[in-house]
């Protein structure tokens, strides 16, 4: 497990929720510290995700903060329960922590929605396609760094085989289907893999044709991970310097609307699969 001085995004999120609950109750850190019988600075560290908190203490705080949302409190308790290291921990010290945070976010999600305009969805990449994507990074990655990222991306896909299955919806712009990462043959194999995966009952791939015209969020990729309760949903955006994680109420509302718009504008599942087959057959 990572040291407390370098909390994961999930640990920071738990702390942020504790702070949000305290602020909503108009309680001070001094009051919270008195409830738990600890120093006030430890409350600040808990809310920063630096210091762990026990499930019992979460329930004590929630009770005294008069939080009546039992499902929300139960979800926070589950986030605090001790767990063995996730599979992504084997990459710690080898890959940027943000990539590990994405894997952890997906692993604990109750549902995943993603929008892609240039790349195809990472959870559905083939080795060769992923290798071509990471080979185009600047500054150029070493062959070892590329292979580590490919291995991590393929490992992330195990979430799609979890039980019970995690519902997955991917909204893919036509431009992404036509980007030949790795050349025509690698792209053709990738598109066929995309179609095969889309036939799984819990995986829904929708194509947004270029004829759709302008659409919100055209300039960036988006991952929306559903939490155990809506308050714990998380948005992850890609950027040149690494992943960004967002969970403010206004941000969640905005990106839910963004994805709902894409769903309404995209072809249905069957027509999308036919569209992908048609692009593949022309390669």
Q: Decide if 123 is inside a domain.
A: yes
CATH of residue 99's domain is 3.30.870
Look at residue 83 in the predicted model and tell me its pLDDT. Answer: 84
Per DSSP, the residues of the chain read ---TTS--HHHHHHHHHHHHHHHHTT--HHHHHHHHTS-HHHHHHHHTTSS---HHHHHHHHHHTT---HHHHHHHHHHHS--PPPGGGGGBTTB-HHHHHHHHHHHH-SEEEEEESSSPPGGG--HHHHHHHHHT-SSPPPHHHHHHHHHHHHHHGGGGG-SSPPPEEEEEEHHHHH--TT-HHHHHHHHHHHHHHHTSTTEEEEEE-GGG---TTTTS-EEEEE-SSGGG-EEEE--TT--EEE--HHHHHHHHHHHHHHHHHS--HHHHHHHHHHHHHT-
Is 2 a member of any domain? no
Calculate the CA 39 to chain-centre distance. Answer: 34
User: Within a domain: residue 3?
Assistant: no
pLDDT tens for 214-241 read 887 777 889 999 999 999 999 999 887 7
- For the segment 13-33, the average pLDDT, to the nearest whole number, is 97
Instruction: Tell me, yes or no, whether 162 and 234 share the same domain.
Output: yes
Query: Confidence class of residue 3 from pLDDT cuts 50, 70 and 90?
Result: very low
- Would you state the pLDDT for residue 2? 42
Same domain, 132 and 147: yes
pLDDT (mean) for 80-86: 91
Quick one: 247 and 184 in the same domain?
yes
91-112 mean pLDDT: 97
Mean pLDDT of all residues belonging to the chain: 95
Q: Which of 30, 46, 80 is the last residue of a domain?
A: 80
What pLDDT is attached to residue 6? 85
pTM for the structure as a whole: 0.93
Does some domain include residue 1?
Answer: no
User: What does the pLDDT average to over 49-63?
Assistant: 97
Last residue of a domain, one of 80, 99, 116: 80
For residue 40, what is the domain's CATH number?
A: 1.10.260.40
pLDDT score, position 188: 97
Q: Is the pLDDT of residue 5 over 90?
A: no
Kindly state the average pLDDT of the residues 51-76: 97
151-174: per-residue pLDDT in tens?
999 999 999 999 999 999 999 999
Residues 155 and 73 placed together within one structural domain of the fold: no
Question: Is 178 in the same domain as 266?
Answer: yes
Provide the pLDDT for residue 180: 97
Convert the pLDDT of each residue in 109-148 to its tens digit. Answer: 999 999 999 999 999 999 999 999 999 999 999 999 999 9
Give the domain-ending residue among 80, 109, 133: 80
- Domain assignment of residue 149, given as a range: 87-281
Share of the chain above pLDDT 70, in %: 98
In terms of pLDDT, which residue wins out, 214 or 18? Answer: 18
| Same-domain status, 49 and 179 | no
Using pLDDT thresholds of 50, 70 and 90, give the confidence band for residue 4. Answer: low
Number of domains in the chain: 2
Residues 130 and 208 in one domain: yes
């Amino acid at each position: 497990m990572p040291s407390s001085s370098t909390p994961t995004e999930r640990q920071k999120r738990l702390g942020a929720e504790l702070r949000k609950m305290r602020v909503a109750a108009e309680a001070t850190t001094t009051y919270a510290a008195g409830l738990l019988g600890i120093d006030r600075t430890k409350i600040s560290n808990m809310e920063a995700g630096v210091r762990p908190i026990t499930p019992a203490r979460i329930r004590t705080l929630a009770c005294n903060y008069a939080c009546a949302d039992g499902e929300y409190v139960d979800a926070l308790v589950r986030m605090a329960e001790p767990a063995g290291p996730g599979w992504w921990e084997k990459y710690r010290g080898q890959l940027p922590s943000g990539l590990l945070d994405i894997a952890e976010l997906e692993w604990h999600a109750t549902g995943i929605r993603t929008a892609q305009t240039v790349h195809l969805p990472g959870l559905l990449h083939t080795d060769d396609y992923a290798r071509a994507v990471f080979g185009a990074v600047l500054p150029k990655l070493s062959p070892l760094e590329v292979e580590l990222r490919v291995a991590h991306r393929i490992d992330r896909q195990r979430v799609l085989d979890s039980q019970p299955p995690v519902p997955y919806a991917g909204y893919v712009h036509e431009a992404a289907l036509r980007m030949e990462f790795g050349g025509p043959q690698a792209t053709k194999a990738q598109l066929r893999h995309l179609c095969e995966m889309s036939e799984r009952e819990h995986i829904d791939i929708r194509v947004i044709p270029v004829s759709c015209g302008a659409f919100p969020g055209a300039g960036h990729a988006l991952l929306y991970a559903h939490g155990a309760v809506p308050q714990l949903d998380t948005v992850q955006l890609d950027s040149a310097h690494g992943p960004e994680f967002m969970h403010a109420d206004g941000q969640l509302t905005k990106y839910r609307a963004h994805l709902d718009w894409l769903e309404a504008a995209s072809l249905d599942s069957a027509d999308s699969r036919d569209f992908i087959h048609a692009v593949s057959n022309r390669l």
